[in-house]
Structure 1
Amino acid sequence: MPDLSISSEKVCFLIVKAREFDVQDVAADDDSGSNPSDDREIDVLEAAPDNPVAQEIRVFIAELGEEEKADLIGLLRLGRGDGTMEDWQAMRDESLREHGGRIAAYLMGEPLLSDYLEEGLSQFGFSCAEFEIGRL
């Protein structure tokens, strides 16, 4: 079995953050109240360009090494069913060539990112169950 350059804890952190990002809705509350109690605090569930969760994900990915970034895209592809463990090295190698400096945008544009990463990670024998209990 191939080795991962990225730790399972880092992948699990990204999975949790991706789920936080995915639950947000498009901004629709144009007439929000003058304070959070008036608008039932629903604005925090709406996507915005300066979304703190999205920013946290972008910074987290930017701070990863190239090998770790390649692993993330490889895990996404593995979890999505684009290949098998036998294809792991090829999926990793082409990931950086295809996406270069746009890895965060590519990953965040994947609607099922958290599910695919979790499935890919499980094929390496790792689970985020304990990590999520402490984070949620």
Structure 2
Amino acid sequence: MAELAIDSGELEALIVRMRALMAREETDISDPGGNPSDDEVPAALQELSGDMTREELVQEIEGLNDDQQDALVALYWIGRGDVEPEEWDKTLELARSRHVGPTSRYLLSHPLVPDQIEDGWEKLRESGELE
């Protein structure tokens, strides 16, 4: 049976924050040209004061202990289909052995990472492997 080093509530909240950050535009395009009605960027996708910044999310991920960071990477790999949930222990060990540099840089360099971590978590739960 797999044991997840990160609390499910904390994982769920982290996925939501990753999704929110990854969906936003950093700046508005001042003169996009073309048809203005087609070129408008919804304000909801732009950074607003009070929103979590990329740096804060990086700090949050890096503030997790090594076991929690390795679990995020393993869930990501399962979610994107690199490995099966039944290979959790091996996948976690592989994530530990490849843990070089900031985990946040690795994870946040993939635009679909929140969905893939969530998919990996769901696959792990559905497989019956998760305690």
What is the TM-score when the length of structure 2 is the normalising length? 0.73
Q: Post-superposition shift, 1:5?
A: 1.0
Q: Name the counterpart of 2:54.
A: 54
Percent of aligned positions that are identical: 26
SS in 2 for 1:60: helix
Cα distance in 2 between the residues matched to 1:115 and 1:45: 20
SS in 1 for 2:95: helix
After superposition, residues 89-100 of structure 1 pair within 5 angstroms as 89-100=89-100
Q: Tell me the amino acid that sits aligned with residue 6 of structure 1.
A: I
Q: Name the counterpart of 2:36.
A: none
Q: Name the counterpart of 2:104.
A: 104
Q: Post-superposition shift, 1:41?
A: 9.3
Cα distance in 2 between the residues matched to 1:98 and 1:72: 13
Cα deviations across residues 80-129 of structure 1 (Å, max 9, x unaligned)? 11111222122211223324232000111111111111111112338xxx
Cα distance in 2 between the residues matched to 1:59 and 1:119: 23
Cα distance in 2 between the residues matched to 1:57 and 1:70: 16
Contact residue 99 and residue 106 of structure 1 kept, 8 A: no
* More off after superposition, 71-80 vs 2-11: 2-11
Cα distance in 2 between the residues matched to 1:95 and 1:58: 18
Structure 2 runs not aligned, ≥5 long? 32-40, 127-131
What is the TM-score when the length of structure 1 is the normalising length? 0.71
SS in 1 for 2:100: helix
Cα distance in 1 between the residues matched to 2:3 and 2:10: 15
Q: Post-superposition shift, 1:76?
A: 0.4
Count of aligned pairs = 115
SS in 2 for 1:101: coil
Instruction: Indicate yes or no: 2:17 matched with 1:17.
Output: yes
Q: Post-superposition shift, 1:75?
A: 0.4
Q: Tell me the amino acid that sits aligned with residue 110 of structure 1.
A: H
Q: Which ranges of 4 or more aligned residues in structure 1 deviate by more than 6 Å?
A: none
Cα deviations across residues 6-65 of structure 1 (Å, max 9, x unaligned)? 11112111110111112112535358xxxxxxxx9949715xxxx843122111111111
Cα distance in 1 between the residues matched to 2:124 and 2:64: 20
Structure 1 runs not aligned, ≥5 long? 32-39, 127-136
